[in-house]
Structure 1
Amino acid sequence: MWLVSVRSGLTSVSSSLYKRWRHHEVGRDTIFALSSGHGKCGVAVIRTSGPASGEALQKLTGWRQHPLPRRATLTGLRSPKSGELLDRGLVIWFSGPRSFTGEDCCEYYVHGGPAVVSGVLEALGDVPTLRPAEPGEFTKRAFQNGKLDLTEVEGLGDLIHAETEVQRRQALRQMSGELGQLYQQWSNRLVTALAHVEAYIDFSEDDNVEEGVLTQVDSAVRALCGELEEHLRDCRRGERLRDGIHVVIAGATNAGKSSLLNTMCQKPAAIVSPIAGTTRDVVETALNIGGYPVILSDTAGLRDSEDAIEQEGMRRARERHSDADILVAVIDSSEVPPSKSSVLSHLHLLCSSSQGDTPRDVILVLNKVDLLHQEAIAHLQELCEDPELPPTCLLSCQTGQGVTQFLSVLKQILESICGDPLQGAPSLTQTRHRLHLTGCLDALGRYATYREQDLVLAAEELRIAHRQLGGITGRVGAEEILDIIFRDFCIGK
């Protein structure tokens, strides 16, 4: 009876191991795809990843052995079915785990004509053990094999989509692992704190745990809370840089808002007309200003109107004013007396039109200075130096006067909002990160509440906080806690 039970147990274990092995093998089929951009180009890169990469390489080249890893070799590529020469190109072999995905990989550098690329892809598809890769599957395998954490994966995605120099810097820094390392450091400290609390709960009666260990945990939690709060107080700097800074042009009708948009875009993106109320909807365009990504919006002019369509345009304009990171308030200087009180009055009307909080930054643009006499311009130039006014620029969209100064002021504000992504601690770049970090901070706050009431509940809050941090990097393991317990305490020695 006992033997039958043991055999049954072994069979169950064997069956479980077999299922796990089959699942592992199914998950490791070999994939291939075009890794460079589509369309005609000088060189195209085709990549394979998986255990059959070597077999595919041999079938396309006729080689009996794999080439030396990470060395480019010029060779002919032939169809496995017909033996027809498809192209002559470079081949680089990457032996796992020293590859991007952690698996055996091969990269084919072929001529970028559509017919060549199609022929090589079709040849790889003729290898029975290969299949086309799904979107993002190479990076997914790199994550699954521990080559990248989730923050590095997101950094890689941001680097691919970066359109400005500063976006590139931020994405490259995140892809290098700095953000993940910061979160992993915090995670390690949390694991240590949790392990010490668990050890105190389970073994304090055996006198195996030093006195004062909970005091050390409390101190560590307080320090971590302070670092998390400082990290979250970043005014969404990294997220703004990743998604684009919203700059909204506001003003009365015919103040020159659309002309300013066209001047900044250097193309007729918006209709310009002497007829008041021409712009009735939001006109939006993306710009690169000094390396910073800007989403520039021209909005309907504000005035009293009975026109239902124009009223809807003004409602949408006010919504954009409220959401703006930077509000560019345009005033027609030819219609406003060149005095501080009149300018402040117009500026107040524009900023108070926002629904909710006013924007963080405002640039005042006194447009159409080409229509003013020199004396009036001199008064306005003195006004620009007034400390009670926001940064003020004299400008003429008609002649281009003052545009360079305006763009310089705008760039300075963009720098103050986003900063230099290469300086200081790495920035939050994803809303997902912010949600996890907030959840972690909330759990640590609850730990302090439960600390004197129920140590078991307090330990659970530390565990929740650790899971929240692990959710950012994609690395959460219960084994870490046991490792630290037995490393730091001589229990059952």
Structure 2
Amino acid sequence: MDTIFAMSSGAGVAGVAVIRISGPAVRDGLETMAGGVPEPRVATYRSINSAGGTRLDRGIVLFFPAPHSFTGEDCAELHIHGGRAVIGAVLANLSELPGFRSAEPGEFTRRAFENGKMDLTAVEGLADLIAAETEVQRRMALQQSSGALSERYERWRSALVRARAMIEADFDFADEEDVPGSVADSIWPELETLAREIGQHLAGARAGEIIRDGYRVVILGAPNAGKSSLLNALARREIAIVSDERGTTRDLLEVHLDIAGYPVVLNDTAGLRDEAGAVESEGIRRALAAAERADLVLLLEDLNEPGKTVSPPSDDVPVLRIGTKTDLAGNEGRAGYDAVISVKKDDGLTSLIDMLEQRVKAAAGDAVSTLPNRQRHREYLSECLKAITAALENDSEPLELRAELLRQAGDALGRLTGRIDVEDLLDLIFGEFCIGK
């Protein structure tokens, strides 16, 4: 196996850069470039040299012997000065050592998975932790990367293995005096409890996806209702072109917001009207499609033109009706709106943001909980629950068939954590990481 290396700190000029090394030749590399192997897990100040003895830099060297390292292999870190020339020189000299090569994206984490240091849910949590942009995302990702989901799914899988063992006891020891009655009869109430627990956990999947991917809010309205102005005001920067000319926005504009620590994805859309040209009509089609997929629609109406209204795209999508341009309108005609605002006068925006915060908090639920947050989590959990439910309901079927259903349920959890049959997923999952992670 090759020994891999990469810069694991951020790119660009910095005071310190960290180069991570993992593999069987780590000790040899440290002997060559750092003059010896430091005491395990003790930061040691060393000269970093080329193979020919030329000094490249001075810095901190750390050594983590297997199996007590991130990857489970011998690992080392070189903390050097963060200039491009220094980094380039150290990386170039590492590449010349026998058995050394640059790491692929996610290869350190993949080795940690292959060496049993973490399961797939923890790997995904680590990727989410690196990508986290809001406080709530950080908290959920930290729990997941620390093994909170792994522990829960392993506990469920152990319960299924125990249930199958009890059924096997009925087959193998039914004639033994010290195995009274039907041992398997005792497992079904426990499996009913397990099914309820999995069902409740699965019900939180949408909340987990919202925390990970963002609560999707789409702004709809007639042309010049103030959609782009609202997007710019909420983003606190100029993203959309604001003009009195109708049809300025012809495609979806997207901005990511942090509202009270929750991720919100806000979309500005083309104004909805009948007399649109071909390009604008495509923008309107995309606007309505985005609204169908949204978690919330902000339906804007100019208070000065109350006749220019648009209908919500679907009864299934929550809607907040917003009256706009209060600075130009009188006090009449404000009834029936969830909020009235003036972007120009910064009137009503705080109240609208409070409403968005309440909505996203209600949708996301308890952000501290360990929630399934990916489509594959939902699929495997649904498969597991379906198999357990079938085993419970088909009580007239032979025990062999019910035991097989429990095996299928356990295998679904095994694929979820990476214990079984996940080779086709690995490249996709580890591809989310950057080089050096």
Q: TM-score, normalised by structure 2?
A: 0.91
Q: Is 2:318 the counterpart of 1:372?
A: no
Q: Is 2:386 the counterpart of 1:434?
A: no
* Alignment check: 8 A CA contact 2:57 2:86 kept: yes
Instruction: After TM superposition, list the pairs within 5 Å mapping 1:135-214 onto structure 2.
Output: 135-214=105-184
Task: Give the match's secondary structure for 2:311.
Answer: helix
Runs of 4 or more, structure 1, over 4 Å off, are: none
Q: Is 2:305 the counterpart of 1:321?
A: no
- The 1:306/1:249 distance shift into structure 2, 3 A limit, reads closer
Task: Give the match's secondary structure for 2:285.
Answer: helix
- The 1:98/1:448 distance shift into structure 2, 3 A limit, reads same
Task: Give the match's secondary structure for 2:174.
Answer: helix
Task: Give the match's secondary structure for 2:175.
Answer: helix
Q: Which amino acid aligns with 1:421?
A: A
- The 1:55/1:297 distance shift into structure 2, 3 A limit, reads same
**By how many angstroms is 1:139 displaced?**
0.8
Task: Give the match's secondary structure for 2:414.
Answer: helix
2:213 is aligned to: 243
- The 1:126/1:150 distance shift into structure 2, 3 A limit, reads same
**By how many angstroms is 1:141 displaced?**
1.3
Q: Is 2:249 the counterpart of 1:284?
A: no
2:15 is aligned to: 42
- The 1:193/1:235 distance shift into structure 2, 3 A limit, reads closer
Whole-angstrom CA distance in 1 between matches of 2:395 and 2:412: 20
Q: Which amino acid aligns with 2:348?
A: G
Q: Which amino acid aligns with 2:386?
A: D
**By how many angstroms is 1:205 displaced?**
3.2
Deviations 1:77-130 (A, max 9, x none): 1001x2110000000111111111111111000011111111111222222122
**By how many angstroms is 1:476 displaced?**
5.0
Greater RCO (Cα-Cα under 8 Å, separation 6 or more) = 2
Q: Is 2:335 the counterpart of 1:335?
A: no
Out of 125-134 and 43-52, give the one that drifted further.
Answer: 125-134
Q: Which amino acid aligns with 1:100?
A: F
- The 1:189/1:235 distance shift into structure 2, 3 A limit, reads closer
Task: Give the match's secondary structure for 1:330.
Answer: strand
* Alignment check: 8 A CA contact 2:222 2:301 kept: yes
2:272 is aligned to: 302
Q: Structure 1: 5+ residue runs without aligned partners?
A: 1-27, 338-344, 478-493
Q: Which amino acid aligns with 1:238?
A: G
Q: Which amino acid aligns with 2:26?
A: S
Match for residue 185 of structure 2 among 199, 215, 231: 215
1:9 is aligned to: none
Structure whose residues are more often helix by fraction: 1
**By how many angstroms is 1:372 displaced?**
2.0
Match for residue 89 of structure 1 among 59, 72, 80: 59
Whole-angstrom CA distance in 2 between matches of 1:294 and 1:267: 16
Whole-angstrom CA distance in 2 between matches of 1:271 and 1:48: 48
Whole-angstrom CA distance in 2 between matches of 1:126 and 1:306: 63
* Alignment check: 8 A CA contact 1:287 1:293 kept: yes
Deviations 1:256-305 (A, max 9, x none): 11111111122221122212232222222222222221211111222222
2:94 is aligned to: 124
**By how many angstroms is 1:155 displaced?**
0.5
Q: Which amino acid aligns with 2:28?
A: E
1:469 is aligned to: 413
* Alignment check: 8 A CA contact 2:205 2:372 kept: no
Whole-angstrom CA distance in 2 between matches of 1:150 and 1:300: 41
Task: Give the match's secondary structure for 1:363.
Answer: strand
- The 1:306/1:152 distance shift into structure 2, 3 A limit, reads closer
1:460 is aligned to: 404
* Alignment check: 8 A CA contact 1:250 1:350 kept: no
1:273 is aligned to: 243
Q: Is 2:1 the counterpart of 1:55?
A: no
Task: Give the match's secondary structure for 1:143.
Answer: helix
Match for residue 72 of structure 1 among 20, 40, 43: 43
**By how many angstroms is 1:189 displaced?**
0.5
Out of 70-79 and 196-205, give the one that drifted further.
Answer: 196-205
* Alignment check: 8 A CA contact 2:166 2:184 kept: yes
Deviations 1:367-404 (A, max 9, x none): 1000123x43xx73xx47xxxx6xx2221112211112
Task: Give the match's secondary structure for 2:216.
Answer: strand
Task: Give the match's secondary structure for 1:48.
Answer: strand
2:341 is aligned to: 395
Whole-angstrom CA distance in 1 between matches of 2:323 and 2:143: 40
Deviations 1:340-391 (A, max 9, x none): xxxxx95xx421x34xx531x3222111000123x43xx73xx47xxxx6xx
Identity of aligned residues (%): 46
Whole-angstrom CA distance in 2 between matches of 1:316 and 1:133: 41
Whole-angstrom CA distance in 2 between matches of 1:333 and 1:307: 26
Out of 71-80 and 234-243, give the one that drifted further.
Answer: 234-243
Q: Is 2:296 the counterpart of 1:350?
A: no
* Alignment check: 8 A CA contact 1:450 1:457 kept: no
**By how many angstroms is 1:310 displaced?**
2.8
Q: Is 2:362 the counterpart of 1:416?
A: yes
Q: TM-score, normalised by structure 1?
A: 0.81
Task: Give the match's secondary structure for 1:106.
Answer: strand
Match for residue 254 of structure 1 among 224, 246, 263: 224
* Alignment check: 8 A CA contact 2:205 2:371 kept: no
